[in-house]
Amino acid sequence: MMTAERPPTEFESRVYDALQLVPRGKVTTYGLMARYLSCGSPRAIGQALRRNPFAPETPCHRVVNANLTIGGFFGTVKGTPIERKRNLLLNEGVIFRKDGSIDPACCYRFDE
């Protein structure tokens, strides 16, 4: 998944470490992760995840939009990568509603 050949920055490493806290069967949001890391920018989280060189061991697929829709994956928001992200989440036990959003019971908030 890495898009640049460089080692992760200190910030990216913090994002990847935080991802390890999100258990199988759960998701978190870009905003919740930004708040947890005190960075204030959900977009910065997304950019770090886009550069994740440790996927799938570092599970960037477990981060979704604030409205619990699937969000992006591999730098895109549609097509095969999004289906792959959905399948990864389904295989881990994440529950999707009929409208395609994720059941709020599957949201990890870092303070649990």
Residues assigned a catalytic role? 60
User: Which is nearest to 88 in space by CA: 67, 62, 64, 107?
Assistant: 62
Q: In Å, how far are 59, 97, 104 from 92, measured between CA atoms?
A: 11, 15, 15
Q: Which two tokens stand for residue 26?
A: 């759960």
Query: CA 45, CA 9: separation in Å to the nearest integer?
Result: 12
| Closest to 108 measured CA to CA, from 18, 32, 46, 28 | 28
